[in-house]
């Protein structure tokens, strides 16, 4: 609901802020001494274009806001997205990429995969039998990928605490 | 006719049982490397190079060519099945290939992709065989100024891509440009927007960005409705042959020819590459089409356009490589090394001194192309088995592969972390209904545009001097025309809508 109703506003404001930040950021960059345009030229240009377009979007959204909101009410739209699963997946993925190096590929992947599959699995697919199946897939996949990369493609993935 | 006779003799040389067997193996290895994101064609060539040391020179070069061709075309498999471009060249294949696979047409999409990859490369190899020296002269005429013209032209394509909701489309694209600024500025190496982070100094890697915005975002998006929809597997409709009729094939041919010409043309220019040619050809196809709204929803012509163009780039890229000794990108640089090791010095005298070797390479290219077609076609059935795995299991496995691929590109954990960042960008784009295609196009072309602009100004002192270059003028004015025309069309459409609302 939020995204449908206020989405374009948020986008417009975000880009307006981004444009201003770019222009300010570019001001801080050193000017080129040898030629007409230095490293600050492109960011400034892009910043200005973004700011103008964001302005147009905001004005457009503002003038149409009432009509759109009424239309949305009438359509009876409901957001059925399951944000619990999205957030869970995101958090586990973020943790995974951050422990990949210190803990090592094998251990972190073993842990991550089973958790991620469990988070994504529909409610009726979380029985004990399913879990055993997931665990087997997890172990086989991790080991195969590690050794395939190590010996097949000559790419050594981070060993971490289980280095060999 | 001389070229034809030499090509014929070369074919006889290439078609020895031993050499065919090695080439099949080379193509297969290339396909594996190409289809896994992070493992690139250049890595495959680098890995195979030492193995060719003990081979005879001609056999060694044939194997390298085989790996190269397999590596470029392999990217379409993961692009279509998993929405994960295996190589940067196959990004645009995901736009229509993945929706087709979701609709159960995975086999058809793969069939189309493979056949038109084959045709695209074949076209470029014919151009290579007969016109290489002539075209190399054209490549020499391209200064940074002309290259800037092409890049600018490519950037304005965003306007066409985002027709219907132009302001949002343009903004979506410009955000991609912002990411290009991160890292060292071209020419002078001034650090920009790195916020004291050393890892950001090198900028964001192209492939990791693409993996993030497509594959990782896709995982988050499908997590939204995983529970509501229950266990999901993607249906696969079996098809006969390549999955399309003769009539369809003929109707796609003009588009394929146009794409092959775009691909070969861009390939000849060193430093622009397959990803840009695929995107440009895709946008052109969308623009020329009678039904542009079907593009992005699973339109076969979209796959035809991209695959034809990105494979045609191979032959194009070999023209400056062989004739001038200039490699256009990482893979061709690797190939040049391989050729040197086998005693072939690329350069202007090559066609005079080593004509037999050169035509041997051309013949090997064509034979490998055919092998690629046969190998991939026989394996289609095996490829689509991937889709039988339920989504809640497949998605996490893909994420791990993406992470590994991102790590393999540079051996940096930073790249792995950035796929998550771009995954979030992709998800937010989805939530706010911003299109990702303009983002990708701008991100790919952005740094090149800036580099060529500044290099051009460095050589010619002012921007005004750019206009003395006729090729630049052509691209510049066509680009401006496209821009004005798109804005005008958008404005008219908005007014019509207003009138309709009032009535």
Q: Where are the domains positioned within chain B?
A: 2-502
Summarised one tens digit per residue, pLDDT across range B244-302 is 788 888 888 888 999 999 998 888 877 677 778 888 888 888 888 888 888 888 888 88
Q: Does B491 touch chain A (CB under 8 A)?
A: no
Nearest Cβ partner for B171 among A57, A88, A155: A57
Could A30 and B190 be called an inter-chain contact, meaning their C-beta atoms sit closer than 8 Å? yes
The DSSP output letter for B36 is S
User: Which residues in chain A are contacts of B419 at CB distance < 8 A?
Assistant: 97
Which residues 426-455 in chain B show a CB within 8 A of chain A?
427, 431-434, 450, 453-454
Which residues 136-175 in chain B show a CB within 8 A of chain A?
167-168, 170-171, 174-175
Closest among B286, B274, B342, B318 to B126, alpha carbons compared: B318
Total count of residues recorded for chain A: 164
For position B370, what pLDDT does the model report?
Answer: 92
Could A149 and B404 be called an inter-chain contact, meaning their C-beta atoms sit closer than 8 Å? yes
Whether pLDDT at B1 is above 70 = no
Whether pLDDT at A46 is above 60 = yes
Search chain A and give the residue with CA nearest B413.
Answer: A101
Count of other CB atoms within 10 angstroms of residue A58: 18
Whether pLDDT at B435 is above 80 = yes
**Burial level of A21, CB count in 10 A (0-12/13-18/19+)?**
middle
User: Which residues in chain A are contacts of B396 at CB distance < 8 A?
Assistant: 112-113, 116-117, 120
Summarised one tens digit per residue, pLDDT across range B139-184 is 777 788 888 888 888 888 887 777 778 888 888 888 888 888 888 8
- Determine contact, residues B105/B307, Cβ cutoff 8 Å: no
Evaluate if pTM is beyond 0.95: no
Whether pLDDT at A1 is above 60 = no
The partner residues of B183 in beta bridges, in order of sequence, read B192
Of B8-12, B75-79, B235-239, B315-319, the one with minimum mean pLDDT is B235-239
For position A33, what pLDDT does the model report?
Answer: 65
Q: Which residues contact B48 (CB under 8 A, 6 or more apart)?
A: B26, B29, B63, B64, B67
Could A39 and B190 be called an inter-chain contact, meaning their C-beta atoms sit closer than 8 Å? yes
Q: Which residue has the higher pLDDT, B436 or B328?
A: B436
Tokens, residue B124 = 């470029």
- Determine contact, residues B236/B473, Cβ cutoff 8 Å: no
For position A162, what pLDDT does the model report?
Answer: 67
The pLDDT-based confidence of A35 (bands split at 50, 70, 90) is low
Summarised one tens digit per residue, pLDDT across range B392-415 is 888 888 888 888 888 877 788 888
For position B118, what pLDDT does the model report?
Answer: 92
For position B390, what pLDDT does the model report?
Answer: 82
């Amino acid at each position: 609901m939020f995204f449908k109703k206020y989405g374009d506003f948020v986008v417009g404001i975000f880009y307006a802020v981004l444009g201003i930040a770019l222009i300010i950021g570019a001001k801080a960059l050193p000017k080129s001494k040898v030629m007409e345009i230095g490293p600050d030229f492109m960011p400034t240009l892009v910043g200005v274009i973004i700011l103008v377009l964001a302005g147009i979007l905001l004005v457009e959204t503002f003038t149409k806001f009432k009509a759109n909101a009424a239309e949305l009410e009438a359509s009876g739209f409901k957001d059925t997205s399951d944000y619990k699963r999205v957030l869970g997946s995101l958090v586990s993925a973020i943790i995974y990429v951050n422990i990949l190096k210190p803990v090592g590929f094998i251990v972190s992947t073993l842990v991550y995969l089973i958790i991620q599959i469990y988070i994504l699995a529909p409610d009726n697919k979380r029985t004990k039998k399913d879990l055993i199946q997931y665990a087997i897939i997890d172990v086989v996949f991790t080991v195969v990928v590690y050794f395939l990369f190590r010996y097949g493609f000559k790419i050594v993935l981070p060993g971490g605490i289980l280095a060999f | 006719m001389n070229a034809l006779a030499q090509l014929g003799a070369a074919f006889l040389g290439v078609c020895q049982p031993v050499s065919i067997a090695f080439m099949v193996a080379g193509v297969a290895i290339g396909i594996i490397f190409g289809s896994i994101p992070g493992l690139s064609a250049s890595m495959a060539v680098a890995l195979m190079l030492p193995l060719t040391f003990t081979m005879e020179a001609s056999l060694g070069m044939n194997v390298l060519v085989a790996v190269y061709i397999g590596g470029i075309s392999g990217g379409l498999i993961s692009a279509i099945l998993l929405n994960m471009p295996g190589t940067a060249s196959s990004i645009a294949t995901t736009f229509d290939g993945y929706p087709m696979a979701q609709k159960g047409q995975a086999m058809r999409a793969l069939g189309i992709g493979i056949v038109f990859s084959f045709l695209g490369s074949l076209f470029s190899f014919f151009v290579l065989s007969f016109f290489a020296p002539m075209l190399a002269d054209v490549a020499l005429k391209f200064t940074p100024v002309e290259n800037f013209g092409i890049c600018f032209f490519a950037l304005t394509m965003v306007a066409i891509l985002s027709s219907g909701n132009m302001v949002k489309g343009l903004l979506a694209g410009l955000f991609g440009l912002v990411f290009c600024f991160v890292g060292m500025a071209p020419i002078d190496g001034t650090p920009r927007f790195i916020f004291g982070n050393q890892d950001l100094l090198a900028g964001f890697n192209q492939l990791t960005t693409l993996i993030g915005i497509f594959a990782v975002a896709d995982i988050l998006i499908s997590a939204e409705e995983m529970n509501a929809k229950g266990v999901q597997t993607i249906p696969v409709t079996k098809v006969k042959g390549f999955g399309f009729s003769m009539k369809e094939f003929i109707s796609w041919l003009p588009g394929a020819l146009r794409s092959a010409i775009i691909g070969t043309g861009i390939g000849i220019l060193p430093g622009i590459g397959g990803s840009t040619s695929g995107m440009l050809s895709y946008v052109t196809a969308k623009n020329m089409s009678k039904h542009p709204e079907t593009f992005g929803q699973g339109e076969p012509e979209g796959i035809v356009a991209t695959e034809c163009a990105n494979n045609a780039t191979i032959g194009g890229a070999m023209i400056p490589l062989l004739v001038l000794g200039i490699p256009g990108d990482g893979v061709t640089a690797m190939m040049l090394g391989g050729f040197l090791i086998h005693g072939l010095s690329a350069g202007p005298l090559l066609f005079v001194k080593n004509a037999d070797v050169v035509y041997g390479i051309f013949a090997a290219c064509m034979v490998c192309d055919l092998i690629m077609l046969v190998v991939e076609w026989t394996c289609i059935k095996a490829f689509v088995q991937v889709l039988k795995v339920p989504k809640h299991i497949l998605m996490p496995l893909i994420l791990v592969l993406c992470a590994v691929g991102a790590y393999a590109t540079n051996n940096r954990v930073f790249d792995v972390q950035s796929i998550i960042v771009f995954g979030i960008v992709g998800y937010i784009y989805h939530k706010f209904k911003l299109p990702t295609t303009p983002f990708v196009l701008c991100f790919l072309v952005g740094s090149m545009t800036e580099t060529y602009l500044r290099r051009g100004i460095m050589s010619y002192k002012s921007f005004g001097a750019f206009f003395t270059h006729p090729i630049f003028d052509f691209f510049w004015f066509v680009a401006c025309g496209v821009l004005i025309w798109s804005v005008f069309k958008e404005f008219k459409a908005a007014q019509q809508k207003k009138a309709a609302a009032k009535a």
